[in-house]
Amino acid sequence: MFFVLLLSCSRSVSPPVVPETWALNEVSEGQGLSGLGRAPDGGLWAVSERIGEIVRLDTEGRIELVGVPEGSETEALTWLGADRIALGTESSDAERLSDTVLIARVEDSRAVVSEQFELPFSVLGVAPESNRGLEALCVDDGRLVAVSELIVLDAGARWSPFAIRAVEGGPWTAGRLRLTTETGKTAGLDCEGGQAWSIERHYGVARVLRWTIPAKGGDVVPEIAVAVDELVTGTLPNLEGLAVSAGKIELVTDNDHGGKTGPSWLFEIPRE
């Protein structure tokens, strides 16, 4: 059961209509929520893209995020341990050579960035674009998986470039995730036991994909685990974060589209 975090300073927006077997909760604390992740203690956390905070969604609370480099927006979150998180970032600098992964240590009342490392575009095999960056991170068996929002077009197929490296350091190994629609981009990720779940989304597109994390990189063709866009009626929200547990898949939406447009929603979907 999730607490409802009250909406402030935004207009009322009707929720999307979802199947009766799904739960839908208003989680409006924060602005521009992204990067959903579950802490070792079970807490469900998201990061605000631009206002410097991480937000716990299953109990009402927020923590200041300190030390994000100027010009970077935080787009992805995953837990590395009881007191450390990794954050994926993007930038409006279209001439940059890499996107940055931040490591922050979580203290009683704030999370402080303590280190950072780069994922070069030369590894991903793409050219940089403004405000297209690392939208998805997860950790599995000591490996950090980072997926970019950028798109690779190859022989009529669309791919999300990703890279894998040891959490504690070492070289990146590149791969590509095949997308299933003509417009979707990767926007969230979780993984366990060698399996990954990711969000493919754009306007009118919302799907959860499932795929095997490759040991040595390369191309990956996923299966569609949940076709959210085929099941939800009404306005389709912008899915930005994903967390998977033994019995369910949870998805958080972004409520900031050139300004706060309404509440954020948390979808809870039974996992088959």
- Residue 89's DSSP bridge partners are 74
What pLDDT, on the 0 to 100 scale, is given for residue 120? 98
User: Where along the chain do its domains lie?
Assistant: 25-270
Residues forming beta bridges with residue 62, ordered by sequence position: 55
Q: Which residues, in sequence order, are CB contacts of 241 under 8 Å at separation 6+?
A: 33, 34, 35, 36, 37, 46, 76, 77, 187, 188, 199, 251, 252
51 pLDDT tier (thresholds 50, 70, 90): confident
- Which pLDDT score is estimated for 16? 87
Residue type, 116: Q
Average pLDDT of the chain to the nearest whole number: 90
Whether residue 13 has pLDDT greater than 70:
no
Question: What would the two tokens of residue 73 be?
Answer: 């927006």
The reported pLDDT for the residue numbered 9 is 37
- Over the range 126-148, which residues count as b (16 or more CB within 10 Å of their CB) and which as e? bebbeebbbbbbbbbeebbbbbb
The tens digit of pLDDT for each residue in 112-128 reads 999 999 999 999 999 99
pLDDT at 255: 76
Under the banding of pLDDT at 50, 70 and 90, the label for residue 58 is confident
Judged against a pLDDT cut of 80, whether residue 6 lies above it is answered with no
Q: How high is the pLDDT of residue 264?
A: 85
pLDDT of residue 1: 34
pLDDT given at position 29: 58
Average pLDDT of span 17-41: 87
pLDDT band with cut points at 50, 70 and 90 for residue 258: low
pLDDT at 109 over 90: no
The mean pLDDT of 201-225, rounded to a whole number, is 95
Contact between 194 and 188 (Cβ < 8 Å)? no
Instruction: Say which CATH topology domain 25-270 has.
Output: Neuraminidase (2.120.10)
Predicted confidence at residue 3, as pLDDT, reads: 35
Which one is predicted more confidently, 48 or 179? 179
User: Which tokens go with 146?
Assistant: 């980072």
Token pair 């417009």 is found at 183
The token pair at 254 is 């972004």
Is the pLDDT confidence value at 8 over 60? no
- The Cα–Cα gap between 89 and 198 comes to 17
Q: State residue 169 phi and psi, 5-degree precision.
A: 130, 170
How far is C-alpha 205 from the chain's CA centre?
16
Mean pLDDT of the region 45-66: 89
> What's this model's pTM, rounded to 2 decimal places?
0.92
What pLDDT was estimated at residue 237? 84
Closest to 49 measured CA to CA, from 105, 94, 88: 88
CB 160 within 8 A of CB 202: no
Q: Please say if the pLDDT value at position 132 is more than 60.
A: yes
Residue 10, pLDDT > 50, answer: no
